[in-house]
A and B are shown apart, each in its own frame.
Chain A
Amino acid sequence: QLQLQESGPGLVKPSETLSLTCTVSGGSISSSNYYWGWIRQPPGKGLEWIGNIYYRGNTYYNPSLKSRVTISVDTSKNQFSLKLSPVTAADTAVYYCARTEVVSVAAPYDSWGQGTLVTVSS
């Protein structure tokens, strides 16, 4: 059974870099059938798509975050990662990693990690 697990610091200072890793188990991140994505949710608010990555390194970012976001993949470790820099208090959120199927246009996210809360504060 596929499992995704986010990891990384829970507290980041303003103007610094938020770095998270998603470890995939029970399946291969190198599958040609899936993209891997990041979605975030500020406390008590709705969901915001951050971006996706394919195992070959192709990336797709939300234009609202594109200048600050980098998503990368490490197939040897079955992991993909998120970097967001510089951060402000508005980046405080639960960050989820998730999987979506490769189809002609796009697909919904069918598997999600449990999420990790990142707080931006000095």
Chain B
Amino acid sequence: DIVMTQSPDSLAVSLGERATINCKSSQSLLYSSNNKNYLGWYQQKPGQPPKLLIYWASTRESGVPDRFSGSGSGTDFTLTISSLQAEDVAVYYCQQYFNDPYSFGQGTKLGIK
């Protein structure tokens, strides 16, 4: 099974500053036949379901603000929020969909400093 490990577990950033969350997989998520990384990022606010932000490691879901970006390939990935807004306070999860069983990182709790 693929293990997903996020860092840090929690993070506090000032409004308007950059926030960076890392995700590492125990094996490569790069599918050689299409050169895509099978990695997604979700945002979960209290009492709400997860919301898909990024898929294929770097493609923004429709309607997601462009301050959210994803990068990385293989086993190391990053979610960046370029300028933190108050509404971005949430827990963020990465998920691999390369191999069944699909697995999630443990989550990173993002708050305001």
A residues neighboring B (CB under 8 Å): 46-49, 60, 62-64, 96, 98, 100, 104-110, 112-115
| Contact assessment for B49 and A105 in the assembled complex, using a CB-CB cutoff below 8 Å | no
Report, nearest first, the 3 A-B pairs whose CB atoms are least far apart.
A108-B40, A112-B49, A106-B97
Known: A46-B104, A108-B55. A115 touches B40 (CB 8 A): no
Q: A-B contact count, CB below 8 Å?
A: 58
Q: Kindly state the separation between the CA atoms of A114 and B93 in the bound complex, as whole angstroms.
A: 17
- Place the interface of chain B in its size category: 20 to 34
| Contact assessment for A47 and B50 in the assembled complex, using a CB-CB cutoff below 8 Å | yes
Q: Kindly state the separation between the CA atoms of A43 and B37 in the bound complex, as whole angstroms.
A: 30
Partner of A47, one of B48, B93, B100: B93
Q: Kindly state the separation between the CA atoms of A108 and B55 in the bound complex, as whole angstroms.
A: 7
* 0/1 string, B17-52, CB within 8 A of A gives 1: 000000000000001011000101010000011111
| Contact assessment for B52 and A109 in the assembled complex, using a CB-CB cutoff below 8 Å | yes
| Contact assessment for A105 and B38 in the assembled complex, using a CB-CB cutoff below 8 Å | yes
